[in-house]
Structure 1
């Protein structure tokens, strides 16, 4: 049986790894001691917004606190934070088989290039997770928004795609991952806004001024991508250009039409909000920072994403973390 290791057993890694294990796949999680202790004590409860629920005992899935667990892995799913990519690559190089396949399910655009540079002898594939997973405590991980895991087409991944096809962590294999990665990043421009709002996603998105900031950053990013001759894929029910327009709609339209179509659990929050709560360094350089970096490369500016980056970095060093909708709109958009 194909041996799968999830390197980075955070919220995403635990939900995907646990759900795949529940289908009979051979999955090992690599993560921190406190996650291991939680699973040993409580097992794993995995749920989603549609009513899916599965309960695993600690014996139903292997867990390791050391990268040596990658020694016999056939597929390594990398789910560490983007800030830990280089360290994870060195661990893979020191422990994994030469023919092990590495799939990045991380945020941002540049992680795959980093992995390919540091792991020249491995097959490195791009992937992405479009949905939010919340750690509700006591071994309970909850998928709070819609979406399907995607990864580059490779025969070795077909066993996962087949086994997971009917579940909430289904894997679909695609051949246009660069465009998909940029499409996902446009959606992820809300991660920082959600963190700075201090609100659950549903409550944040119900406030027009937060949405106006989100819309402006998407529109700005699309201009940058056009300058770079990059066409992002559509992630979700509508193309990004249309999403940017709809986000600006009055509350009575947006909240009663769009939010009813979208499946967003009232408990869902962005991963950056969890980073704020835990006092961790965020992935802002791999989200809005990617837009700023691409703009700089082409000699143009991205002032809205730059303002978001500055606010998040200030929050990381003890500055203001929580903004009102009006306050964030005025600070980022200047109006």
Structure 2
């Protein structure tokens, strides 16, 4: 694909927390960007968006543009071709999104999949076999502090997948995107990187069960011990698959369970970068449960269990957490979560 990146057309489909932040950054950078979002989100963002982050960068009154879902109308790409379509819906929304994005996809559209977990891009590659479908790792958390104010609360670089055929265009895209609000990196081995990201995402379910901010959760050794058990099961799977996990934190992947298991006073000294997270941050799974929405548990912990079964490995801790999250989702009303303290959660794991 030959395209002038600075003149490229971007569409952010699925303007939740990550989608709104990403759309805000693209617009802040002056790129031709439109968002597809629910009417209630569009109404909230009509007056612009504010971006901040944990490093105290601030930009206010960023104007946004919107696109409407077309239904059975003419394809948007016929009059305004989309060069990069950023798909930021949850894994649970992929099947519907495949149908909804079709009017926006033209012959040269690159689809960038920004989902957690493993395997969500497979359906897109099947339906859009003639398009480049690339994976994106989003390592940081975003919270909405006030209506229209989106805050990046933790560290990490947005990482774009590339292949030999897409290297030039993706490198050019990364160069344009790199800014204070959005550190950017590239990877040619996204599968291993997403397994490494999945290791970190194992805290998502525990945060939902704990019902406290991420930083407060990590300050309690009991919750860290639970996360460490989940990680050890994941590492047994990746070792069996001969996957070498890249570093996505300051510590190697195999060190993380041991560091998480340290006493609180040692953990605070050794892993201070893990605690360099905004005290407001909660995980996406907490937000889903709090709003009574389906969670991504089957694409996170469930992906580990599924692969482990193929390998003949046991994953009792991940199976139990899946069970607890699904029970919590069934019992919870929106905005109401029943928290489980760390000691009780450890007891439940046996």
Q: Give the match for residue 188 of structure 1.
A: 201
User: How many residues align structurally?
Assistant: 330
2:257 to 244, 258, 269: 244
Q: Hey, what's the Cα distance between the residues in 1 that align with 2:274 and 2:298?
A: 31
Residue in 1 that maps onto 2:54: 49
- Please show how residues 53-92 of structure 1 align to structure 2 within 5 Å: 53-57=58-62, 60-66=63-69, 72-92=81-101
Q: What's the secondary structure of 2:92's corresponding residue?
A: helix
Equivalences for residues 286-325 of structure 1 within 5 A: 286-318=299-331, 321-325=338-342
Please say which of residues 228-237 and 192-201 is displaced more in the overlay.
Answer: 228-237
Aligned to 1:16: 22
1:38 to 38, 41, 44: 44
Q: Is the CA contact (8 Å cut-off) linking 1:32 and 1:65 kept in structure 2?
A: no
Deviation digits for residues 62-102 of structure 1, max 9, x if unmatched?
12342566662111111100001121122233431022000
CA contact (8 A) 2:205 2:297 kept: yes
The change in CA–CA distance for 1:281 and 1:69 in structure 2 (over 3 A counts) is: farther
User: Cα RMSD over matched residues?
Assistant: 1.7
Cα 1:69/1:143, change in 2 over 3 Å: farther
Moved more, 120-129 or 61-70: 61-70
Deviation of 1:2 (Å): 0.4
Return the alpha-carbon distance in structure 2 between the equivalents of residues 69 and 196 of structure 1: 42
In structure 1, the residue matched to 2:221 is 208
The residue aligned with 1:331 is: 348
TM-score, structure 2 normalization: 0.90
Q: 1:261 to 1:285 in 2, by over 3 A?
A: closer
Shift of 1:262: 4.3
TM-superposed CA distance for 1:260, in Å, is 5.3
Q: 1:136 aligns with which of 107, 128, 145?
A: 145
The one of 271, 279, 288 aligned to 1:275: 288
Q: Where does residue 210 of structure 2 map in the other structure?
A: 197
Q: TM-score, normalised by structure 1?
A: 0.94
Provide the C-alpha distance between the structure 1 equivalents of 2:100 and 2:195, rounded to a whole number of angstroms. Answer: 27
Q: Does 1:110 align with 2:123?
A: no
Q: Is the 8 A contact 2:92 2:296 kept in 1?
A: yes
Secondary structure of the 1:97 match is: coil
Q: 1:38 to 1:90 in 2, by over 3 A?
A: same
* Structure 2 residues not aligned, in runs of 5+: 1-6
SS in 2 for 1:274: helix
Which shifted more, 191-200 or 63-72? Answer: 63-72
Q: Which region of structure 1 is more displaced relative to structure 2, 162-171 or 192-201?
A: 162-171
2:131 to 122, 128, 138: 122
CA distance in 2, matches of 1:26, 1:3: 5
Residues 81-139 of structure 1 show CA distances to partners (whole Å, capped at 9, x for unaligned) of 00011211222334310220001111011012221122212110111101111122310
Q: Give CA deviations for 1:208-254 in whole Å, capped at 9, x if unaligned.
A: 00000001111111001222232222211111111111000001111
- C-alpha deviation, 1:261, in angstroms: 6.2
**1:98 and 1:92 mapped to 2: Cα distance?**
13
2: CA distance between counterparts of 1:25 and 1:150?
19
Match status 1:230 vs 2:243: yes
